[in-house]
Amino acid sequence: MTDKVVVITGGSRGIGRATALAAAARGFRVVVGYASNKQAADEVVAQIAASNGKAIAVKCDVAEESDILNLFEEADKFGTLGALVNNGGIVGKSGVRVDEMSAERIQRVMAVNVTGSILCAREAVKRMSTKHGGTGGVIVNLSSVAARLGSPNTYVDYAASKGAVDSFTVGLGHEVAGEGIRVAAIRPGLIDTDIHAAGGEPDRAHRLAHLVPMKRVGTADEIANAIVWLISDEASYVTSAILDVSGGR
Rounded CA gap, 30 and 4, in Å? 9
| 158 is a catalytic site residue | yes
Which among 17, 20, 9 is positioned nearest to 228, based on CA atoms? 20
Q: Which of 34, 155, 158, 237 is catalytic?
A: 158
- In sequence order, which ranges of 26-185 are alpha helices (DSSP H)? 38-50, 65-78, 103-110, 116-128, 146-149, 156-176
Of the candidates 248, 190, 186, the one whose C-alpha atom is nearest the C-alpha of residue 214 is 248
Single-letter amino acid, residue 233? D
Strand partners, 186: 142, 243
d(C-alpha 162, C-alpha 158), whole Å: 6
Contact between 90 and 109 under an 8 Å Cβ cutoff? The reply is yes
Pairwise CA distance, residues 141 & 120, whole Å: 10
Q: SS3 helix, strand, coil % of the chain, rounded to 5? A: 50, 15, 35
102-107 long-range Cβ contacts below 8 angstroms, 24+ apart:
105/157, 106/157
- For residues 84 and 227, the answer to whether their CB atoms sit within 8 Å is no
Residues with active-site annotation:
158
